[in-house]
Structure 1
């Protein structure tokens, strides 16, 4: 969906991040996403029109996350949706390739729920692929000097739950007719989080995450198919 700003149609881009979970005081996904609220991208002739980012925070709760997503989709009717989540222990900005239809919590969510082997959507396909140009995003982020790699698993916690729910919604006829695109990106801890943990685990500065997200939005607005480049893994 687009809206008129000073007579020019503007595409809406929905970025979502999660509230803190598992005892953390912050969640880097929400910190990065909310910092991009209102960011406007100019039109690129022959590629895409102007676009504006709208940020929304998702609860780290099975079920409630999809309710919040539905509310944001109904409110904004965006052309592009990129959901973002924390993946502590990862060292790179990682677009996710595939969402699977399973909830299997290693820990409880923020409501104390821990579903085990429950489908996200009963009777729906086993998996959906992201409709983001995931390899183009990785290439763009790496070209900017930031670490990025393609991920083939979004886990089985609330991140995958939201990712699968998003892709199931985008697979419906109305979303298909509108050409909506969407997917999920995992990001590492912030340095201040990693500093409190043994190891410490890898981290990425907030400014770098924001820069990578801007590149991801730009790459996702470009027309055409994704790059044909290796993004496979041996394990």
Structure 2
């Protein structure tokens, strides 16, 4: 009888441990987080875009136990916003870091402000037409990530970087503003960051950076945002 009781207790304890392990595994799965990294496709006659190369290289990587999903984005006014916001709906990331190319920049630019403005070529290709990204949106939206601090930390790593207050009036700013508006309207907890990178050395020997340097900078941006969220 005593032996039977001991066996019963042992089986009960073993079952409890197994059930706890299963529950723990489920919790870990539910607690897993994702960061979405987007990069624009080539434009303006370039054969490559380092922004796209960085996003593709980070796809599938883990940073601080967070999964990275990389996404290529078309250089299109409306489609760029819809493609990324749909990816946010599908992937449900805690942060989205969008990357664009600043052809004349020799340093990493961490953008602070998205402007509600588009500057599009007119019919003759010479005159420009100005319009809004969002007809009913505010004139500007400001990201809540610590851009000054992030730029400073990138510089500390040996890579030139600055905080920027002007993301331009082209599709980079268009996407940045669109994501900030999406955050404001639909996903207030989402962290939104836009990073402008330099051209590759092969694109501009004077102002260019290596792909390794720029990828390192973006990985540092992700790390710092995750640390700030914790």
User: Is TM-score (shorter-chain normalized) higher than 0.5?
Assistant: yes
The corresponding residue for 1:67 is 82
Please, which runs of 5 or more residues in structure 1 have no aligned partner?
Answer: 43-49, 196-200, 226-235
Q: Does 1:100 align with 2:105?
A: no
Match of 2:200 among 182, 190, 201: 190
CA deviation profile, 1:28-77 (whole Å, cap 9, x unmatched): 100111111111123xxxxxxx3111011110011111121122111111
Please report how far the alpha carbon of residue 132 of structure 1 lies from its aligned counterpart in structure 2 after TM superposition.
Answer: 2.2
The corresponding residue for 1:36 is 58
Higher helix fraction: Structure 1 or Structure 2?
A: 2
Measured in 2, the distance between the counterparts of 1:68 and 1:115 equals: 25
SS at 1:117 equivalent: strand
The TM-score normalised by the length of structure 1 is 0.81
Runs of 4+ in 1 over 4 A off after TM superposition: 3-8
Match of 2:158 among 135, 145, 148: 145
The corresponding residue for 1:81 is 96
Measured in 1, the distance between the counterparts of 2:200 and 2:66 equals: 28
Please report how far the alpha carbon of residue 194 of structure 1 lies from its aligned counterpart in structure 2 after TM superposition.
Answer: 1.0
CA deviation profile, 1:192-216 (whole Å, cap 9, x unmatched): 1114xxxxx4011000001000100
The TM-score normalised by the length of structure 2 is 0.82
SS at 1:99 equivalent: strand
The corresponding residue for 1:232 is none
Q: For CA contacts below 8 A with separation 6 or more, give which structure has more relative contact order.
A: 1
- Structure 1 residues 149-164: aligned runs within 5 Å: 149-164=162-177
- Structure 1 residues 116-135: aligned runs within 5 Å: 116-135=129-148
CA deviation profile, 1:72-125 (whole Å, cap 9, x unmatched): 1111111101110000110101101101000003699xxx9x972110000110
Aligned residues: 204
Measured in 2, the distance between the counterparts of 1:5 and 1:157 equals: 43
Change (3 A) 1:38 1:224: closer
CA deviation profile, 1:130-153 (whole Å, cap 9, x unmatched): 222211211221111111111110
Measured in 1, the distance between the counterparts of 2:122 and 2:172 equals: 13
Please report how far the alpha carbon of residue 224 of structure 1 lies from its aligned counterpart in structure 2 after TM superposition.
Answer: 6.4
Q: Radius of gyration: which is bigger?
A: 2
Please report how far the alpha carbon of residue 4 of structure 1 lies from its aligned counterpart in structure 2 after TM superposition.
Answer: 6.4
Please, which runs of 5 or more residues in structure 2 have no aligned partner?
Answer: 1-24
